[in-house]
Amino acid sequence: MKHLSTLCLLITLLVNIAFAQTAPKPYGVLPAERQLKWHETEMYSLIHFTPTTFENKEWGYGDADPTIFNPTDFDADQIINAAKDGGMRGIILVAKHHDGFCLWPTKTTEYNISKSPWRNGKGDMVREFEQACRKAEMKFGIYCSPWDRNNAAYGTPDYLPIYREQLRELYTNYGDIFMSWHDGANGGDGYYGGTNEARKIDNTIYYDWNNTWNGITRKLQPNATIFSDIGPDVRWVGNEKGFAAETHWATFTPKPLTGATAVPGNVNTETSSIGTQNGTYWIPAECDVPLRPGWFYHPEQDGKEKDANYLVDLYFKSVGRGACLDLGLSPTPEGKLHENDVRILKEFKEKITYTFSKNLTQKATISAGNSRNGFPVKNLTDNNRYSYWATSDNITATEIIVDFTKVTSFNIIQLRENIKLGQRINQVNVAAWIDNKWQPVAEVGSVGANRLIKLEKPIDSSKVKISLVAPVSITLSELSIY
């Protein structure tokens, strides 16, 4: 009897092996682990708060007296919790903007927070923001501007070691960061130690980005994504309006402006917004936009903030197109977010939560034209972005049908690919069963980490058909309808 039982187990094992299919092969370039974590973040905030706030300017010249930086009611917890209440999962602190003022007591320059009266010259604002993030379980990131309009050495070979040392201080003294943020602004008018002149640099070589990033960022913060105009981990979407192109590829082959080198500051904005299908690198786009008209707080802009409905629209056009949304927040001179900003953030989160509160696919019957053995359609509704339904290798076009069993009203379809296997799908057609026939209601050209298809008006239908096309077998991790 014992031998018979063993034989049955062996036969069952052999049958399973015979009918099992291996997982689909990855397609194209793939995201690194740090990039997967970035995709999962979806929304975060960039915080601008320097002497420029107290000058009521948008860009500081580098000549502001450090003594003007003295917030009377600074509350990092209030700022971070307001961001969290708005659905943000992390913040990036501008530790140094172009004006050169450092929000930590750096050893690299006298132009830093220790020369201000705040906390009697003993303060460290980077530390307070970092600790507030840890307390709120929010991710913490840092932006240290490479352009420094205060430093007398800027534009000379002596400046790069100073800048790199600032990065080393920030990367080693404030714990793990999720993002090292950089932009393409560099060179121009500045104070530069009192010279008050314009200094131009060759941004293709001056910062020696490859050695700066590989020798410092990657070494000291290996889990941090690096953002700049063209990557290497996350690219600028090409505008400061907060949205990506309708078709958005996380894969990217940098295409610089005519005659320029593919470095920060020389980005081709149209290419960056769309990306590159089957591109050379995995470099998805960040959609950055300030909540207010400017990146810094200006009292005359009170009442001119983007409202919650506007932010919801941006969410669909950024996160809903496979990118991430970076929402700029700007504390007042007192050191808190304005009550208008706090209210709008809260309303935005409430609207997003309500919109996605009832997933209609959870009680529907889902079938597919083809399913790879071991990768069934039930994986589409398990709320796991890395478990997935897949087709056989020879099936590159198929349909999924969602049957509600009764007429149901909806206007949002959400799709996710398992991007660990690459971005594969290049055509999606959605049809609804109306008047006893399939009628087309939407069409998009990419999916990626997340795709939200918002219909112009609600549809009443008992069934939805989603047709998918890819150059290889299809791998879809989530299908939701709201």
Full set of structural domains in the chain with CATH: 33-355 (3.20.20.80), 360-481 (2.60.120.260)
User: What's the pLDDT tens digit per position in 272-324?
Assistant: 899 999 999 999 999 999 999 999 999 999 999 999 999 999 999 999 999 99
Q: Which residue has the higher pLDDT, 2 or 75?
A: 75
| Residue 340 CA to its chain's centroid (Å) | 24
- Enter the DSSP assignment of 122: T
Mean pLDDT confidence for 443-453: 98
d(CA 254, CA 268): 8
Average pLDDT, the chain: 93
d(CA 45, CA 138): 11
Q: Any bridge partners for residue 145, and if so which?
A: none
3-state secondary structure of 148: coil
Burial of 77: CB neighbours in 10 Å, binned 0-12, 13-18, 19+? middle
User: pLDDT-based confidence at 1, cuts 50/70/90?
Assistant: very low
pTM for the full predicted model: 0.93
Mean pLDDT confidence for 128-157: 98
Q: Which residue from 256, 267, 264, 149 is spatially nearest to 203, judged by alpha carbons?
A: 264
Q: Which residue from 480, 276, 268, 462 is spatially nearest to 380, judged by alpha carbons?
A: 480
Mean pLDDT confidence for 98-126: 98
Find out whether 372 and 390 touch, Cβ atoms under 8 Å. yes
Burial string for 298-311 (b: 16+ CB within 10 Å, else e) reads beebeeebbebeeb
User: What's the pLDDT tens digit per position in 146-175?
Assistant: 999 999 999 999 999 999 999 999 999 999
| Residue 224 CA to its chain's centroid (Å) | 13
d(CA 477, CA 422): 12
> Quick one: pLDDT at residue 104?
98
d(CA 232, CA 178): 14
d(CA 468, CA 471): 11
d(CA 437, CA 456): 20
Taking 80 as the threshold, does the pLDDT of residue 14 lie above it?
no
Place of tokens 């990036």: 92
Mean pLDDT confidence for 263-278: 78
Question: At 217, which amino acid appears?
Answer: T
- Enter the DSSP assignment of 381: G
Mean pLDDT confidence for 321-342: 98
The sign one gets for the Cα dihedral 121, 127, 131, 133 is positive
Taking 90 as the threshold, does the pLDDT of residue 359 lie above it?
yes
Taking 80 as the threshold, does the pLDDT of residue 7 lie above it?
no
Lowest model confidence (mean pLDDT) among 20-29, 162-171, 223-232, 266-275: 266-275
Please state whether beta strands 225-228 and 234-236 pair in parallel, antiparallel, or not at all (unpaired): parallel
Ramachandran bin of 448, using left for φ above 0, alpha for ψ from -120 to 50, beta for the remaining angles: left
Tokens describing residue 281: 């690198």
